[in-house]
Structure 1
């Protein structure tokens, strides 16, 4: 009964961020940063400590990510009650850039001192600390995909921001906001839970959840339709280096009695895989076969399958699809 209640509770959760479900995974850098003070007087003091303890670009970038994820909290109140955007006038491009820099400086210092921020605050603080430790970074703004209703959404949003940092000559993708925790609407509060998968996330995973306003990544054009219409994936899928191979679309149109074929990379028959029916009852995948480096199985569409179908592995959600009846 406890497992059944846990599974039913899944559908009561509406998350702002991808809901983490895996155990804490600290590397050597994280273990050192965990011993740092929770507060520093200045960003320069924190940067000096990081440079003293770490020499490689990767370790410094990870240390900034970890310290922020451990100590900066998502400002839910600011998210729910956003302030009106600050406008300003300027006469020259130089004056414009100076005023933008001042606004960003105020934002990052507020995030650092109050230890609360929304995604913009996380990104400007990360970029500032990266600069202080000799790293090149960029802030990227764009769309995010975190909820069931985002599958097949028609209207693009620009509601999120993240970082790219140059490590060993290669730009790496980082989302500290999602690295620090998630919002649990069943409790009405933020839950602090370290998610290291959002440091140097592989692009093939990152861009299933993020879409830059520019529509490009390192000069390559990204497909907005693939982003909007793809399945919703969860942290566990990324952690296991698994992948949805079939169907490619998160929108599945079927008639009653149709077979739907699913195939997941890096998942085997030994993994406990199931989905929830319309009554939130777990249905175990029983007809699976290992094929082409993954697990393939069919599900027959009937009245017991609801508007969405979410697959679970070891009691953790891994991917969701929207089902539309023809």
Structure 2
């Protein structure tokens, strides 16, 4: 089973959106050191008046101050057990455990996705906003034979502002782990703040489908059999068709099709099969309006030892596809009604 590690080297330049928060980001970057999380929360409440600005301030503080690193307890895989007589006692114990975890990670300025999410959730609670830590999976592979019972490996956040729930992933927005140095590299990625639910469902799948915030939730099989989307894919005016599968077939006769429901006027793309080091231009045939199709033939002998194909645009990787032998796995096709950062030198932050 091919693992695809997420690259955070690409940043989505949502210029207009990010510019709305320049004054917020600038002020937060000048904040002094806070010993207690509630001191940070009070400062944010005093500095900013709107809910959006306060949530943005909390989010940015996390991305510029927290370091992704497992603490000793997590390296030892220690489990916490609780006993309770009623729901009230259960809630209190869980709350105490969460607060203890928040205090430790806030003091150390380090943690994993759970710590990032708990801190952001606590600050949003202090602002008086409905808030939720979402548990689910982050996409780290393309697999057509995935089970619906997935092992949860990631957490992120939802916050309600003005009656609308917004999705955020402060962990993925903060940076990546370099596989060579094994060190955290800070790299802000704007895409993971107030992300459109349709786009969010391409890389994060909640355990409870309600938190996809979609009218037609994506299934686990649809999620994993789709291509892998780099953050650079979003905001470019590109939309893949539901007919495009994330798994390409390797054969001397078979032609693979990548269908686009929408492309920008300038849509020059290249692709590379990992291991070959050779960039090839991706050709397009127009179907209707902005819809296009690209054809790729993967010769069995030439690509015998390679199982990953990356599509580039503006010299940035935007999509990954898995390459399988024609008869190795059964390919699951997606239905038209269910449309839906990876670099070998980086690891995903779970």
Cα 1:170–1:82 shift into 2, 3 Å: farther
Indicate the residue corresponding to 2:26 in structure 1: 31
* Structure 1 unaligned regions, length at least 5: 1-12
Q: 1:277 aligns with which of 273, 280, 286?
A: 273
Judge conservation of contact 2:157–2:169 (CA < 8 Å) in 1.
yes
Indicate the residue corresponding to 1:21 in structure 2: 10
Q: 1:154 aligns with which of 123, 146, 164?
A: 146
TM-score normalised according to structure 2 size: 0.80
In 1, distance between residues paired with 2:25 and 2:127? 17
Cα 1:94–1:246 shift into 2, 3 Å: closer
Cα 1:89–1:136 shift into 2, 3 Å: same
Indicate the residue corresponding to 1:58 in structure 2: 52
Cα 1:119–1:278 shift into 2, 3 Å: closer
Judge conservation of contact 1:184–1:191 (CA < 8 Å) in 2.
yes
Asked which structure has the greater RCO (Cα within 8 Å, sep 6+), the reply is 2
Indicate the residue corresponding to 1:10 in structure 2: none
Q: 1:68 aligns with which of 52, 62, 68?
A: 62
In 2, distance between residues paired with 1:264 and 1:121? 38
Indicate the residue corresponding to 1:251 in structure 2: 247
Q: Deviations over 1:58-104 (max 9, x none)?
A: 11111111111110111146698253211122222211111100000
Cα 1:162–1:153 shift into 2, 3 Å: farther
Cα 1:19–1:102 shift into 2, 3 Å: same
Indicate the residue corresponding to 1:228 in structure 2: 224
Instruction: Return the offset for 1:178.
Output: 0.6
Q: How many residues align?
A: 310
In 1, distance between residues paired with 2:12 and 2:29? 16
Cα 1:20–1:203 shift into 2, 3 Å: farther
- Greater helix proportion: 1
* Structure 2 unaligned regions, length at least 5: 327-350
Indicate the residue corresponding to 1:122 in structure 2: 116
In 2, distance between residues paired with 1:170 and 1:273? 36
Judge conservation of contact 1:237–1:243 (CA < 8 Å) in 2.
no
TM-score normalised according to structure 1 size: 0.85
Indicate the residue corresponding to 2:233 in structure 1: 237
In 2, distance between residues paired with 1:205 and 1:20? 19
Q: 1:288 and 2:284 equivalent?
A: yes
Instruction: Return the offset for 1:19.
Output: 2.0
In 2, distance between residues paired with 1:212 and 1:23? 23
